[in-house]
Structure 1
């Protein structure tokens, strides 16, 4: 995957490396350099701050234990970080500009391009064989025995069309995956939107930013009057904790893995866990964390009676 990422136009953001995130044109400058929308850069900046654990650190040092434990302990995330392009002036760091260029590629790449990147990611660009698949499956099926893993890996290779003891090159892998998985399902698996399309459409209807040459939305004015407040989040967390609150967490975009991790962190206290997830959602969404959006998620997860808390 490093081969793919290193072809990206990351140098377009080099001039932003020393800019302070406290500057008023921090988001718009990155938007102009990459062609992204300010609201997309804002979303990615919030994600980046989660990775660094800092509100003003503009570089990520993944080899120096800067990444939160629940992320740094994930072998797949660690491998992905290892393939990220690094700064020439500071080879141990991933600048925010590089991070958003990679995320932009993940958003826009075609299915074959993403599968080619997965191929490079799985085995550093080397042909894939059943032994490599076995190593991968051991991280997925932690309690399985070696003979069970071996049988699964052979079955996986057969499904991809590999003959006994044969290996798959990149094109064979890409073709095999597209042949084995229905197009709609494969698209859902590999889909990555910085911001869902309908939200970007909402932002597109807003006035242009005078400080930006390419962007068309003003995050300083957008929805501030309609943002969810602390008390509303507290009431919702308290109310949903007595029911199937994980439905709301899933509707907000959290994975089951995230939900379980934060349950453990909060000693299985449902209300505290849901409140922390709601605060994280609000921080991640920034100017898009509006009452109307949270109302929609409450309705989607079956909590219609709580919508009135946001009036």
Structure 2
């Protein structure tokens, strides 16, 4: 995968490596350099801060940064970060600009290119065989017996039509996966949106940030009347936690490990955990923390009865 990611236009962000994130043009400068919308850069900056554990650090060192527990124990995430391009001056760190460029590629790459990157990621570009698949499956199915893992790995190789040596090269892997899954299934499996399309549409309806030529916004402003109040967040947190609220958190862009972290921090007090999560959402989304968005999330996560709180 590194062979692919290192061919990306990384140099466009090199002149930003010494800019402080406290500068007013921090987000817009990175938006202009990468071609992303400011709202996308802002979303990725929030994720980057979670990875580094700092609001000031502009480079990520996967070997030294204290990644969240759920990530530090995830062999797939750790291996993925090893494939990221690194700074020209520090071979152990990933600059924020490079992180943005890679995420942009994940968002826009074709299915064929993503499958090629996946092939390289799985075995560092070497031919894939049943033994390699067995090692991978052991990390996924930790409680499964070795003989069952072996049977699964051989079934995988048969389905993808391995060659006479029992191996798959890149083109065989890509062709095999495309035979086993429909285009729609592959699109859904490999889909990666920095910002969901409907949120980018909303970004078009909010006033443009100055100094950004690539910010996808116009002169309309929702105003403050559509912003969610703290009182409304508290009411929703209190009532939503009477049922399973994980789906609501996911619909707002939080990951499973985020949710578990909020629960642990609040001693498994669901109402307190969800309230803090909603506050973080409100703070991170800023002008996008609208009643309309939260109403949509409540509806999508089967909490339509809570929508009147936002009226």
User: Deviation string for 1:17-45 (max 9, x for gaps)?
Assistant: 01011111111111111111111111111
1:143-162 to structure 2, matched below 5 A, reads 143-162=143-162
Correspondence for 2:39 = 39
| 8 Å CA contact 1:208, 1:218 repeated in 2 | yes
Correspondence for 1:79 = 79
Q: Are the structure 2 counterparts of residues 233 and 132 from structure 1 closer, same or farther at C-alpha, using a change threshold of 3 Å?
A: same
RMSD after superposition? 2.3
In the alignment, the residues of structure 2 paired with residue 294 and residue 17 of structure 1 have an alpha-carbon distance, to the nearest angstrom, of: 35
User: Deviation string for 1:205-244 (max 9, x for gaps)?
Assistant: 444444123324379x666553334333222111111123
User: Deviation string for 1:107-128 (max 9, x for gaps)?
Assistant: 0100000000000000000010
1:185-204 to structure 2, matched below 5 A, reads 185-204=185-204
| 8 Å CA contact 1:223, 1:288 repeated in 2 | no
Q: Are the structure 2 counterparts of residues 217 and 3 from structure 1 closer, same or farther at C-alpha, using a change threshold of 3 Å?
A: same
Count of residues paired in the alignment = 311
| 8 Å CA contact 1:206, 1:216 repeated in 2 | no
1:75-114 to structure 2, matched below 5 A, reads 75-114=75-114
In the alignment, the residues of structure 2 paired with residue 293 and residue 32 of structure 1 have an alpha-carbon distance, to the nearest angstrom, of: 27
Correspondence for 2:22 = 22
| 8 Å CA contact 2:85, 2:98 repeated in 1 | yes
Q: Are the structure 2 counterparts of residues 213 and 117 from structure 1 closer, same or farther at C-alpha, using a change threshold of 3 Å?
A: same
Correspondence for 1:308 = 308
Question: Taking structure 2 as the reference length, what is the TM-score of the superposition?
Answer: 0.92
In the alignment, the residues of structure 2 paired with residue 218 and residue 33 of structure 1 have an alpha-carbon distance, to the nearest angstrom, of: 20
Q: Provide the secondary structure at the position in 2 that maps to 1:64.
A: coil
Once the 2 structures are TM-superposed, how far is the Cα of residue 70 of structure 1 from its aligned partner? 1.3
Q: Are the structure 2 counterparts of residues 216 and 65 from structure 1 closer, same or farther at C-alpha, using a change threshold of 3 Å?
A: closer
1:272-311 to structure 2, matched below 5 A, reads 272-311=272-311
1:104-183 to structure 2, matched below 5 A, reads 104-162=104-162, 165-183=165-183
In the alignment, the residues of structure 1 paired with residue 179 and residue 300 of structure 2 have an alpha-carbon distance, to the nearest angstrom, of: 34
Q: Are the structure 2 counterparts of residues 165 and 222 from structure 1 closer, same or farther at C-alpha, using a change threshold of 3 Å?
A: farther
Correspondence for 2:49 = 49
* Stretch moving more, 156-165 or 196-205: 156-165
Once the 2 structures are TM-superposed, how far is the Cα of residue 165 of structure 1 from its aligned partner? 5.0
Q: Are the structure 2 counterparts of residues 287 and 52 from structure 1 closer, same or farther at C-alpha, using a change threshold of 3 Å?
A: farther
User: Deviation string for 1:86-119 (max 9, x for gaps)?
Assistant: 1011222111100000000000100000000000
| 8 Å CA contact 2:52, 2:66 repeated in 1 | yes
Runs in 1 of length 4+ with deviation above 6 angstroms?
A: none
In the alignment, the residues of structure 2 paired with residue 34 and residue 121 of structure 1 have an alpha-carbon distance, to the nearest angstrom, of: 24
Once the 2 structures are TM-superposed, how far is the Cα of residue 160 of structure 1 from its aligned partner? 1.0
| 8 Å CA contact 2:52, 2:65 repeated in 1 | no
User: Deviation string for 1:270-295 (max 9, x for gaps)?
Assistant: 22332343234334534322221011
Question: Taking structure 1 as the reference length, what is the TM-score of the superposition?
Answer: 0.92
In the alignment, the residues of structure 1 paired with residue 230 and residue 210 of structure 2 have an alpha-carbon distance, to the nearest angstrom, of: 31
In the alignment, the residues of structure 2 paired with residue 281 and residue 154 of structure 1 have an alpha-carbon distance, to the nearest angstrom, of: 45
Q: Are the structure 2 counterparts of residues 271 and 209 from structure 1 closer, same or farther at C-alpha, using a change threshold of 3 Å?
A: closer
Structure 1 unpaired stretches of 5+: none
